[in-house]
Amino acid sequence: MKRMAGVVPRAAAAAAAMALALGGCSGSGGKKAEQDAEAGGAGPRLKIAMITHSGPGDTFWDIVQKGAKAAAAKDNVEFLYSADPDGGKQAQLVQTAIDQKVDGIIVTLAKPDALKDVLARARAANIPVVSINSGADRSAALGAVAHFGQDETIAGEAAGEQLEKIGATKAVCVIHEQGNVGHEARCAGAEKTFGGRMENLYVQGTNMPQVKSSITAKLQSDPGIDGILTLGAPFAATAVDSVEQTGSSAKVGTFDLNKDLIASIRNGSIWFAVDQQPYLQGYLAVDELWLLKTNGNVIGGGRPVLTGPAIVTKDNADTVAPFADRGTR
For the purposes of burial, counting CB atoms within 10 Å of the CB of 138, is it exposed (0-12), middle (13-18) or buried (19 or more)?
middle
Give me the CATH topology for the region 46-150+278-308. Answer: Rossmann fold (3.40.50)
Distance CA 328, CA 89 (A): 28
> Is there a contact between 261 and 59 (Cβ–Cβ < 8 Å)?
no
Distance of CA 273 to the CA centre of its chain: 16
Q: Report the 10 Å Cβ neighbour count for 18.
A: 10
- What Å distances lie between residue 248 and 53, 175, 228, 253, CA to CA? 33, 20, 11, 15
Is it the case that residue 302 has pLDDT exceeding 90?
no
Interior angle at CA 301, CA 299 and CA 307, nearest 5: 50
Question: Mean pLDDT, to the nearest integer, of 3-20?
Answer: 36
Rounded to the nearest integer, the mean pLDDT of the chain is 88
- What Å distances lie between residue 222 and 156, 170, 227, 251, CA to CA? 23, 10, 12, 14
Taking only the tens place, the pLDDT of each residue in 281-299 is: 999 999 999 999 999 999 9
Least confident of 96-100, 160-164, 179-183: 179-183
Amino acid (1-letter code) at residue 302: G
| DSSP string over 277-302 | -HHHHHHHHHHHHHHHHHH---GGGG
pLDDT of residue 21: 36
Backbone angles phi and psi of 267, in degrees to 5: -90, 0
| Stated pTM of the model | 0.78
Helix (H/G/I), strand (E/B), else coil: 216: helix
At the top level of CATH, the class of 152-275 is alpha beta
pLDDT of residue 107: 98
According to CATH, where is 3.40.50.2300 located in the chain?
46-150+278-308, 152-275
pLDDT of residue 115: 98
More confident residue, 82 or 180: 82
- What Å distances lie between residue 116 and 26, 41, 84, 121, 180, CA to CA? 38, 33, 16, 9, 15
Identify the CA nearest to 126 among candidates 109, 140, 145, 112. 145
Helix (H/G/I), strand (E/B), else coil: 2: coil
Identify the CA nearest to 81 among candidates 259, 255, 285, 234. 285
pLDDT of residue 119: 98
pLDDT of residue 96: 98
pLDDT of residue 105: 98
H/E stretch holding 105 reads strand 104-108
Identify the CA nearest to 169 among candidates 188, 196, 148. 196
Question: Mean pLDDT, to the nearest integer, of 52-66?
Answer: 87
Question: Mean pLDDT, to the nearest integer, of 45-65?
Answer: 90
pLDDT of residue 34: 44
End-to-end C-alpha distance for the chain, whole angstroms: 47
Strand 272-275 with 310-312, pairing: antiparallel
pLDDT of residue 43: 61
DSSP 8-state assignment for residue 53: S
Distance CA 210, CA 113 (A): 29
pLDDT of residue 166: 97
pLDDT of residue 206: 80
Which residues partner with 251 through β-bridges?
227
Question: Mean pLDDT, to the nearest integer, of 299-317?
Answer: 95
Is it the case that residue 86 has pLDDT exceeding 70?
yes
Question: Mean pLDDT, to the nearest integer, of 180-203?
Answer: 95
Query: How many Cα atoms within 13 Å fall on the side-chain side of residue 109?
Result: 30
Taking only the tens place, the pLDDT of each residue in 122-173 is: 999 999 999 999 999 999 999 999 999 999 999 999 999 999 999 999 999 9
Is it the case that residue 61 has pLDDT exceeding 60?
yes
Distance of CA 43 to the CA centre of its chain: 27
